[in-house]
Chain A
Amino acid sequence: MTPTGRLAFAVAALMCSVAAAQAQEDDVVKIGVLTDMSSLYSDIGGPGSVAAAKLAVEDFNPAAHGMKVEVISGDHQNKPDIGANLARQWYDVDHVDVIVDVPTSSVALAISEITREKNKVFLGSGPASSDLTGPKCSPNTIQWTYDTWMLANGTGKAVVKTGGDTWFFLTADYAFGQALERDTTKVVLANGGKVLGSVRHPLQTSDFSSFLLQAQASKAKIIGLANAGGDTVNAIKQGAEFGVTSGGQHFAGLLVFINDIEALSLKTAQGLVLTETWYWDMTDANRAFTKRWQASRPGKFPSMVPAGVYSSVIHYLKAVAALKSDTDGRAVVAKMKEMPTDDALFGKGSIRADGRKLHDAYLFEVKAPDESKYQGDDYKLRATIPAAEAFRPLKDGGCPLIGG
């Protein structure tokens, strides 16, 4: 090695002895909205989630509690490595106390681990994977709005019970899609239905005609869409074109948001059955929130994800106010589980020991164009699934925090 190199090595060797621990206390509660700003899910979470978080802080009124609260945001681009990097930096350098949203399961799993390591708080109102309250549950993580078990059971069970007993799946070929198909298959079979077949398509496929043909040939009453985002929209749009619905078959959207319905237009999406835990037009409080939210997102409608961000942030701030401290993540989460939740959007609810937030789920059907009176009037309520039934029973999750 050159003399220069040796010198560099020696200098660097001294760095080994430098301590790394930097636990910081400060008097600002910093909320980090980690979301997808630039790709597939930017309409479902994205700037809308940031807007919701800011509204939540406004409504909480930090000054009245003697607190200072700050909201920052970042784009994880649906990539676990970028999300992980940003989370680490936020926790280590920027003194962020809680991360919210994260609408991508693979990123959420990584964030959950880092949050546990750094003893902060993660409120996932975006991710779907039910593993977050199952095998990968954590004392620092709460899954807020929905999960794959709820979706499978909500849509699956309700549809089978009302006569849709033969299914064919269109599944996105990645872990999330396969999990959704697996969970829904279990529910369909358990309720006396039959699965006649399935086909796995690559993620971000434009043309579904071939897969739809296979679905039509199966003659199943229900075509279950175990995919999300653009794939779901394309499948439904082309389904209408190929006469799937006029031929008597129905689509069941296993993960559909109001933004997808707006992209499809009611003409194409009518009759679609889906499950969400919040709808903007259901109560006056929801409508009022939506109006305020639309100030920054004109022409768009909030899905259940920003609503979940709002709800989780308010409850978090209440817990911090009660504890008078935000440094110990586990303690804050424990406090959040102890206090029953109550906010304008989700009403009264609770958080379970495994980190699962509980609230009612709703089975919606998309209206026909002549049933809709104004932009955004997209859903009619088919059934309400009470909180106790909507989510996976505590003992079945396999969460290490719970005895079994």
Chain B
Amino acid sequence: MWEQAAGGAGRDMFEVFGIPSQALFGQLLLGLINGSFYALLSLGLAVIFGMLDIINFTHGAQYMMGAFAAYLLLHHIGIGYWQALVIAPILIGLTGVLIERLFLKHLRNLDPLYGLLLTFGLGLVIEGLFRNYYGSSGLPYQVPEALQGGRNLGFMFLPNYRAWVIVLSLAVCFATWFAIERTRLGSYLRAATENPVLVRAFGINVPRMVTLTYGFGVGLAALAGVMAAPIYNVSPQMGSDLIIVVFAVVVIGGMGSIMGAILTGFALGIIEGLTKVFYPEASNTVIFVIMAIVLLIRPSGLFGRSA
């Protein structure tokens, strides 16, 4: 009944701290994959804080809504993964626009901590509502046909879907960074953040840019949600499990910096991956140790602008 497991290729291997090199390379690659996911998830948060000075604690719930949107699109309308990748972020991004218009607009001139408290409350409400309606066990969602299976790399088996995650994350991260740092639209946005009055005087509709930027950040969160649906359990609490880690990533990277969040996301994925090998129980906590150390040495994060 239980056949002998077929293992990985039996190459010559050397050991690093007692772990065979094969296993280590496998863990590093996994760490990189997770890192790309963290980078994508923290990208939205970094855009919103960097551009708008809003600390968006609803991010976890919006990520969750992205995953749920993918599930609902499939089960009620029959729209599959590939279209959901585009539709879900737009839908959830629209809810973000609503949130900004209804709530966040009023907090524009206040200390960002108020925005944090409000978005935290919104996150609780959204998660609670979803849980009341859908229960906590989670909903099934499969990896799309085209990406199923994987290839044996010799030191580990790499699922095709995970390779896709890296590719898409890198693409989206780079595109976002480019759009904000290198295009004219991005420069309007950065200018509007620093000096809204002056930019308005040039005839640019600043409030609308703010709203759309928030919606964009939220859309990024939802995109990460759609990408997570096939591999992580689609449940109402999936966001709150991750939000605090994502937050730490953004803080370490520097709260104004897009590139900081991306690089930190990747770095953190790798460090966490290594921790999972040598001291797995601490893999959730290592990021906080790093955050404390970084904040003590460089108060604005690794790449941030000064507070």
Q: A-side interface residues toward B, CB under 8 Å?
A: 38-44, 46, 159, 162-164, 173, 199-202, 204-207, 209-211, 213-214, 216-217, 219-222, 229-230, 233-234, 237-238, 241-243, 247-250, 259-260, 262-265, 267-268, 300
B4 at interface, CB cutoff 8 A: yes
Which residues of A are found within 8 Å of B2, using beta-carbon distances? 159, 162-164, 221-222, 250
Which residues of A are found within 8 Å of B139, using beta-carbon distances? 263
B5 touches A248 (CB 8 A): yes
CA separation between A194 and B111, bound complex, in Å?
59
Chain A-chain B contacts (Cβ-Cβ < 8 Å), number: 151
B128 touches A264 (CB 8 A): no
Binary contact track B156-172/A, C-beta < 8 Å → 1, others 0: 11010110000000000
Taking a contact as CB atoms closer than 8 A, the residue among B7, B142, B233, B273 that contacts A230 in the complex is B233
Taking a contact as CB atoms closer than 8 A, the residue among A40, A163, A200, A241 that contacts B159 in the complex is A241
Please name the residue on chain A nearest to B152 by beta carbon.
Answer: A243
B23 touches A214 (CB 8 A): yes
Given contacts A230-B235, A243-B150, contact A213 B27 (CB under 8 A): yes
CA separation between A230 and B231, bound complex, in Å?
12
A173 touches B137 (CB 8 A): no
A205 touches B284 (CB 8 A): yes
| Top 9 closest pairs, chain A to chain B, by CB | A265-B140, A263-B138, A202-B284, A210-B276, A43-B137, A164-B2, A248-B5, A249-B5, A259-B137
B135 at interface, CB cutoff 8 A: yes
CA separation between A237 and B2, bound complex, in Å?
20
5 A-B residue contacts at CB 8 Å? A42-B131, A199-B280, A216-B156, A230-B233, A263-B235
A214 touches B277 (CB 8 A): yes
Taking a contact as CB atoms closer than 8 A, the residue among B34, B157, B230 that contacts A207 in the complex is B34
B237 at interface, CB cutoff 8 A: yes
A268 touches B140 (CB 8 A): yes
B268 at interface, CB cutoff 8 A: no
B102 at interface, CB cutoff 8 A: no
CA separation between A238 and B162, bound complex, in Å?
11
A237 touches B136 (CB 8 A): no
Chain B: residues with Cβ within 8 Å of the partner, total of: 53
Which residues of B are found within 8 Å of A234, using beta-carbon distances? 232-233
A38 touches B235 (CB 8 A): no
Which residues of A are found within 8 Å of B45, using beta-carbon distances? none
New A-B contacts (9) at CB < 8 Å, excluding given A213-B23, A263-B233: A38-B128, A162-B1, A205-B284, A230-B136, A230-B137, A237-B231, A247-B157, A263-B139, A264-B140
* Interchain nearest-CB distance for A18 vs B (Å): 40
* Interchain nearest-CB distance for B71 vs A (Å): 11
Which residues of B are found within 8 Å of A222, using beta-carbon distances? 2
Binary contact track B21-34/A, C-beta < 8 Å → 1, others 0: 01100110011011
CA separation between A41 and B30, bound complex, in Å?
30
CA separation between A267 and B237, bound complex, in Å?
23
B140 touches A221 (CB 8 A): no
A206 touches B238 (CB 8 A): yes
B8 at interface, CB cutoff 8 A: yes
A241 touches B143 (CB 8 A): yes
A39 touches B143 (CB 8 A): no
B137 touches A220 (CB 8 A): no
CA separation between A164 and B4, bound complex, in Å?
9
B3 at interface, CB cutoff 8 A: yes
Please name the residue on chain A nearest to B233 by beta carbon.
Answer: A233
Taking a contact as CB atoms closer than 8 A, the residue among A163, A211, A241, A259 that contacts B161 in the complex is A241
A260 touches B276 (CB 8 A): no
* Interchain nearest-CB distance for B2 vs A (Å): 4
* Interchain nearest-CB distance for B246 vs A (Å): 11
Which residues of B are found within 8 Å of A221, using beta-carbon distances? 2-5
A248 touches B27 (CB 8 A): no
B15 at interface, CB cutoff 8 A: no
A202 touches B231 (CB 8 A): no
A200 touches B238 (CB 8 A): no
A242 touches B157 (CB 8 A): yes
A211 touches B280 (CB 8 A): yes
CA separation between A236 and B77, bound complex, in Å?
27
Chain B 274-298 residues near chain A, CB threshold 8 A:
276-277, 280-285
Which residues of A are found within 8 Å of B159, using beta-carbon distances? 241-243
B241 at interface, CB cutoff 8 A: yes
B201 at interface, CB cutoff 8 A: no
* Interchain nearest-CB distance for A192 vs B (Å): 14
B232 touches A209 (CB 8 A): no
Chain B 153-198 residues near chain A, CB threshold 8 A:
156-157, 159, 161-162
* Interchain nearest-CB distance for A280 vs B (Å): 15
* Interchain nearest-CB distance for A240 vs B (Å): 9
B242 at interface, CB cutoff 8 A: yes
CA separation between A173 and B283, bound complex, in Å?
11
Binary contact track B118-138/A, C-beta < 8 Å → 1, others 0: 000000000010010001111
Which residues of B are found within 8 Å of A265, using beta-carbon distances? 140, 142
Given contacts A206-B232, A214-B277, A249-B5, contact A42 B135 (CB under 8 A): yes
